[in-house]
Chains A and B, each alone.
Chain A
Amino acid sequence: DAGVIQSPRHEVTEMGQEVTLRCKPISGHNSLFWYRQTMMRGLELLIYFNNNVPIDDSGMPEDRFSAKMPNASFSTLKIQPSEPRDSAVYFCASTSGLRNQPQHFGDGTRLSIL
């Protein structure tokens, strides 16, 4: 079975540019999470969706970040305009939504803003 698929795997761009990260969750999973991982702050939850509806976006750093889930098989995280401090590895994870079930992570997008 295919796991969570993220694209691109790596992104290098100049500050001020728009960045779009993409995620395809595991089929049948109804909850999707976006995380950011850095050495300093570890793994931080940015936003999560349940049945395509944003439930908690309290982790989104600022208005430059936005996320959408137009259908059950696709989500995007957009940064506009990007800044060097946004450089990190961004992970998407999905889960069935049942209690005590694991979150299944993609392999992440390594984002570098120059």
Chain B
Amino acid sequence: AQTVTQSQPEMSVQEAETVTLSCTYDTSESNYYLFWYKQPPSRQMILVIRQEAYKQQNATENRFSVNFQKAAKSFSLKISDSQLGDTAMYFCALDSYGGSQGNLIFGKGTKLSVKP
């Protein structure tokens, strides 16, 4: 079975500082995608960053970057220069089938608060 675990239910960070959110996963598939989605209070799910398992290079999107450790099945999200607008729930998600089937498996989420 595929699972995604986020061990930090809540985190807080000061504005302009850096924070890392943790995620571990389990899958027996060799081809898969990993995602971080953000859900602000407006509740819409927004893609933050995506990583293909076959790519060794860690994905980056502006202030957001990941540390993908395939052997350890770890996929952490680093947010640099945190901004007040980063306050949201963050969900780690796994697509075990390389896009060939329907569902993403989501973790329980980490609630991030950015404080001024």
Report if A and B associate in a common complex. Answer: no
Binding site for A on B (CB under 8 A): none
| Residue positions of A touching B, CB distance < 8 A | none
